[in-house]
Amino acid sequence: MGQTISEKILARASGKERVKPGDIVTCKVDMAMMHDSSGPRVAGRRLDEIGVPVWDMDRLVVITDHYVGYDTDESRAIQELCDDWCKSHGVKHYIRQEGICHIVLPQHGHVKPGTFCVGADSHSTTAGAFGAFMVGIGATEMTGVLATGEIWVRVPENVRMEVTGALKPGVAAKDVILKICGDHGIMGFGYQVVEFSGDGVAAMSAQDRMTLTNMAAEIGAKTGIIAPDAKTAALLAEWGVPGVNPDDWQSDPDAGYVKRLTVDGDALAPQVAAPHSPENADDVTAYRNVKLGQAYLGACTGAKLEDLRMAAEVVKGRKVASGTRFLVAPSSVRMREQAAKEGTLKILEDAGAQILQSGCGGCIGLGAARLDDGMTGISSTNRNFVGRAGPAGTKLYLASPYTVAASAIAGEIADPRDML
């Protein structure tokens, strides 16, 4: 029997010819990422307490994104702590306030196919869109990685998730993953790798695929992964990783999967997840006419350049509904600049959008995008748990950039296909 791309990566990282589900292996880490929320102030402090240096500064990346742009004593203290720790330890790859870690990391050339990576954040699974095996780990595990450069892994089972057919206009990767959340639940793939494939995935842009692997965390998966192709190689080359050969990291035709599942891309409608879980997903028609106080386009899941373009396609020539605020926080500074240069940001601003600083704020209930008490909102973020984006009395619906933009125009949850 052949091996999946995930099994091949874990075999390489553990120095073995092959591995199988259930094996316990010790893997050498190709790259470790931590951010300002759980990095220097937690894992970094613990490393200092045990008195050992970082195992390899070439393989550590520290990014500030959670506590940026807020004029509070807490945020200033966290940023200063990150600055001081990275300076005192000689961190080579310290990326300050350039956007959300899961987007900035590949943009700076730190992700490539076939690598085994860890991140101190659950949505580190995003890197799987580039054919990397990347998992989120806690601060204690990260301390061990910082000290040794290794971590043990129980080789997961693999699920092959095929998106068949072609997504219709107004339907995107976010709708695919919300459909999976609704069909299988937020713990539907506990400690399994979900390998996304099929004609529907092949047709997606390399950026849109990042939404699938990002939200592998929302279906309980160990990680999500997509075998690289020419689109992957082209985007990585643009972002500083030239010479990627997609053929080097593919699942074998006879690889074993514990499940083979499908999503019918031809029949898929825009999806909306109701409060307070991504698994409360259904066709947009089930939630139409829900009145909204806020529409938010942001986060690692929903404000990449391609996402901003989706929203602009919907709102062009239209105005945001009275009584609804439309907030947009591009995923990275570089994407913000590209969107401004090509006119995408102007389309959004002309429609009435307020452009916010790139960062995680609106997703985690910080800053200008925090929902007011009792407010109902819709968002392109990945989670809508109680208290996630505002006080416990708020309600948050999740949707694609297309649907968020259409809802901002309507002032209520709306079907983007009516505006395209």
Cβ partners under 8 Å of residue 232, min gap 6: 113, 129, 130, 131, 206, 226, 244, 246
Q: What is the mean pLDDT of residues 150-177?
A: 98
Work out the pLDDT band at 69, boundaries 50, 70, 90.
Answer: confident
Looking at the structure, tell me whether residues 210 and 89 fall in a common domain: yes
203, 235, 264 - which closes a domain: 264
- 232/228 Cα distance (integer angstroms): 5
219 lies in the same domain as 286: no
Q: d(Cα 284, Cα 215) in Å, to the nearest integer?
A: 19
User: Does one domain contain both 293 and 203?
Assistant: no
> Please, which pLDDT band fits residue 276 given cuts at 50, 70 and 90?
very high
Same domain, 206 and 112: yes
pLDDT digits (tens, 9 = 90+) for 72-101: 999 999 999 999 999 999 999 999 999 999
Residues 330 and 349 in one domain: yes
The enclosing domain of 415 has a CATH number of 3.30.499.10
Query: Both 28 and 169 in a single domain?
Result: yes
- Same domain as 237, residue 351: no
d(CA 227, CA 201): 10
**Domain final residue, candidates 231, 264, 297:** 264
Global model pTM greater than 0.75: yes
pLDDT, average across residues 293-315:
98
| DSSP summary character for residue 17 | S
Which pLDDT score is estimated for 333?
98
Q: Please give the C-alpha separations between residue 45 and each of 38, 80, 146, in angstroms, as whole numbers.
A: 10, 14, 11
How many independent structural domains does the chain possess? 2
Same domain, 279 and 253: no
Both 310 and 252 in one domain: the answer is: no
End position of a domain, from candidates 264, 299, 322: 264
Q: Look at residue 70 in the predicted model and tell me its pLDDT.
A: 83
pLDDT surpasses 90 at 71: no
CB 213 within 8 A of CB 161: no
275 and 223 both lie in a single domain:
no
HSE (side-chain half, CA atoms, 13 Å) at 227:
20
Structure confidence by residue, pLDDT tens digits, 366-402: 999 999 999 999 999 999 999 999 999 999 999 999 9
**Structural domain boundaries enclosing 104:** 5-14+23-264
How far apart (Å, rounded) are the C-alpha atoms in residues 218 and 114?
23
Query: How much is the average pLDDT of 40-67?
Result: 97
- Per-residue pLDDT tens over the stretch 204-232: 999 999 999 999 999 999 999 999 999 99
CA atoms within 13 A on the CB side of 332: 23
* Mean residue pLDDT across the chain: 97
Q: What is the pLDDT of residues 110-132, one digit of tens each?
A: 999 999 999 999 999 999 999 99
Q: Indicate if 311 and 327 belong to the same structural domain.
A: yes
Please provide residue 136's backbone torsions phi and psi, each rounded to the nearest 5 degrees.
-85, 140
Residues 307 and 257 in one domain: no
Instruction: Assess contact for 163 and 197: CB atoms under 8 A.
Output: yes
- pLDDT, mean of residues 357-363: 93
